[in-house]
Chains A and B, each alone.
Chain A
């Protein structure tokens, strides 16, 4: 369901409360935010999907669009697909519903939303919406009320009319003609302990778990909430966040802090990542661990700032000058924003290299009810050089060409190991050098440490053993996973690979995971098929690999993917060999 209206109408608050109420009723849910370009007052919508199981993707269509007003809501016609079975609820005094929405055939009900809010003693109209939408979704009124009470920060006297409005909304929903959906019931075997958080909060939390204690960043949509969550959190765990003057500064600040021995992170979106590339190259060459979270949005250039797209992949895996091995990870759900970011910190620290985490607006700004993530793993570990005091000790070699490629890193303040970290090519001691042999040795070292590391099984989620495989990454995984399940119901078996470690690409593991696969389809949310091109450039995919990709901001939906998968499987059905 969608709750929509002009900014300021409180649709995001209503959506958040509805998600919280569903959680209180033992359910799971996902709330995606979408809004127009205006700073305040533009069209906005909270898109919700609730159910007894964890929800990681929106559905194909919407059962309900509840509009507090119709201002510019025609712009959501593509993002909020309605059908003849859908309900379209609006305010009786808000004028005509947009034709673009009515064309869907959805049943329109004009209700006195604003009047009812006023009659309830000056309540907010979004509380009427909360009662209405919650009841139509099958969430018990008691849970809606509990969510509202828990969130209330003002006085009791202003709570009363809003509670009345909420119950008025419940009554309005019950008075609507037509069949009610059965109430949503929590599953009996639901595990104890669930969390509610956004992907941006999850990534921030994962960073803290990994040991990040310094953050420098420049505000940018849709990454800002990650930073706003981290600022007070860092202060509480003994770290700090610094607002930089630009992204050139933020990346160099975290490199400086990490050179000082403190695990460090910045978060940004595409335009900021573009500005950071020179700094990321410095982190490669000087071997300074850093983590850069890129909450992807529509690009290139300023693009579509508040809406999602998976189009920074090529830039993340290849967008540095010189031969510059780096880590690129992609969380594939809101829960994974936590664990993948935590892992990114561990890898960056262990391998003394920059790690880019490709989240996106869809995960970053959405809230979900998730099962409690596994307890924190051990904080990241960096190999450091111990203090030395023997006067005849051999000179410290910061960039020693070790078998693993990782060399002990001296932390400033440690006696006996002074060195200069350098973006210039250097010798093992760190002395600038333009000699071919030094360049080759250090290039080999920096590549080897990433290639030889044992990443374990987390490089990808591999599901099923069919001989047709879908490969995807990031937030698209949710829709792909649901589409694969639906295809299975139709008798079409598919193997699913969701790549979490995009660089360095684990070609041996990929080879293993694709054993017995005849054909591959690569699914992603961008215009150019960036993952398909990347995989082709690094790996011989089986059969005639093809791609299924669409740019943002429209999410890939499970229904359309399922149809495409079934058609693709039929086209690649095993041919009977006849004599």
Chain B
């Protein structure tokens, strides 16, 4: 007689590779990595059916630190690569990871269009308000008066509000997490992956090396005082007045995801060619 053996459930550790991250000790991205692997354990999809796609920057190193299929492309284009992958391979779970410079500056145009296109994938931005890999320059979310070598005295430019932009551009799920809250963030990521369409999760992830003052974030973050809304305009109004430290799912909408029709019809190419026949 044959015993039925149920496979053991996948644990967070099953999604974590044995490569040692290049990050500085104390970097917020370590806990984001564990939030991601915990979220994948909640979802329970085998690692080889998940693709983690990234661009360039400290946080964009994440794909190789997982046991999923990884794609570490060029700076700013992770959402484009992930869009092609998901549309061509709708059977995969696609998670995109990166930082604020990668996603909001060099990749800003793709961010906007990924929100409007609403392909079913999850975009996690580890926002530390600084370019860490190039050793401390201002990013789009940096405060205007933050002094640095490239912009002495600060850029003088107001910071970009990624969540409001995402809502205005049509993102179907918008949330904010904090690296210091790995379990809460894992739950948000899992919810984002399950939510149909384009899900955007901004995670405050301090840079202890170039922005040591961000250590105080753990004292100011708090759960958002109101529940998630499916009305993007209401969510945007709330976000325009919040101080950037309200955590949780802020918008969960119901737009239909970008349709993929791959492989659904199969006329032969030779039949198409008849249109050229005289």
Residue of B nearest to A20 (CB): B278
Residue A510 CB within 8 A of the other chain: no
Contacts of B87 in A (CB 8 A): 214, 240, 242, 253, 257
Whether B113 and A249, one on each chain, are in contact in the complex, defined by CB atoms closer than 8 angstroms, is yes
Listed in ascending order, the chain B residues whose CB lies under 8 Å from chain A are 19, 46-49, 51, 53, 63-64, 67-74, 76-77, 80-89, 91-92, 109-110, 112-113, 260-270, 272-273, 276-278
**Complex: how many Å from CA A412 to CA B63?**
13
Instruction: Give the Cβ gap from B224 to chain A, nearest Cβ, in Å.
Output: 31
Whether B88 and A262, one on each chain, are in contact in the complex, defined by CB atoms closer than 8 angstroms, is yes
Q: Which of A208, A250, A421, A423 contacts B269 (CB 8 A)?
A: A208
**Complex: how many Å from CA A233 to CA B265?**
11
Contacts of A261 in B (CB 8 A): 88-89
| A–B Cβ pairs within 8 angstroms, 23 of them | A205-B276, A235-B261, A237-B272, A238-B262, A240-B87, A244-B80, A248-B80, A249-B80, A250-B80, A252-B84, A256-B71, A256-B84, A260-B84, A262-B262, A282-B74, A412-B89, A412-B92, A413-B91, A413-B92, A420-B63, A420-B70, A421-B72, A431-B19
Residue of A nearest to B63 (CB): A420
Whether B89 and A424, one on each chain, are in contact in the complex, defined by CB atoms closer than 8 angstroms, is no
Instruction: Give the Cβ gap from B92 to chain A, nearest Cβ, in Å.
Output: 6
Q: Which of A216, A252, A431 contacts B73 (CB 8 A)?
A: A252
| Best-buried of B46, B74, B81 by chain A (most CB within 10 Å) | B81
Whether A253 and B262, one on each chain, are in contact in the complex, defined by CB atoms closer than 8 angstroms, is no
Q: How many residues of A are in contact with the other chain, CB < 8 A?
A: 66
Q: Which of A193, A209, A253 contacts B80 (CB 8 A)?
A: A253
Contacts of B265 in A (CB 8 A): 235-238
Residue A485 CB within 8 A of the other chain: no
Known: A208-B272, A256-B88, A412-B51. A245 touches B109 (CB 8 A): yes
Contacts of B77 in A (CB 8 A): 248-249, 252, 279
Known: A209-B269, A242-B87, A256-B80. A424 touches B72 (CB 8 A): yes
**Complex: how many Å from CA A501 to CA B210?**
50
Contacts of B51 in A (CB 8 A): 260, 412
Whether A238 and B81, one on each chain, are in contact in the complex, defined by CB atoms closer than 8 angstroms, is no
| Best-buried of A205, A257, A420 by chain B (most CB within 10 Å) | A420
**Complex: how many Å from CA A236 to CA B275?**
13
Residue of A nearest to B116 (CB): A245
**Complex: how many Å from CA A252 to CA B75?**
11
| Best-buried of A248, A372, A415 by chain B (most CB within 10 Å) | A248
Contact with B along A178-215 (1 / 0, CB 8 A): 00000000000000011111000100010011000110
Residue A254 CB within 8 A of the other chain: yes
Contacts of B263 in A (CB 8 A): 213, 238-239
Contacts of B84 in A (CB 8 A): 214, 216, 242, 252-258, 260, 264
Instruction: Give the Cβ gap from A348 to chain B, nearest Cβ, in Å.
Output: 15
Q: Which of A238, A415, A417, A421 contacts B71 (CB 8 A)?
A: A421
**Complex: how many Å from CA A242 to CA B265?**
17
Contacts of A246 in B (CB 8 A): 109
Residue of B nearest to A23 (CB): B278
Whether A238 and B264, one on each chain, are in contact in the complex, defined by CB atoms closer than 8 angstroms, is yes
| Best-buried of B53, B77, B267 by chain A (most CB within 10 Å) | B77
Instruction: Give the Cβ gap from A360 to chain B, nearest Cβ, in Å.
Output: 20
**Complex: how many Å from CA A260 to CA B267?**
22
Chain A stretch 404-429: residues in CB contact (< 8 A) with chain B: 410, 412-424
Residue A24 CB within 8 A of the other chain: yes
Q: Which of A201, A209, A417, A420 contacts B64 (CB 8 A)?
A: A420
Residue A278 CB within 8 A of the other chain: yes
Residue of A nearest to B69 (CB): A412
Whether B272 and A205, one on each chain, are in contact in the complex, defined by CB atoms closer than 8 angstroms, is yes
**Complex: how many Å from CA A430 to CA B84?**
21
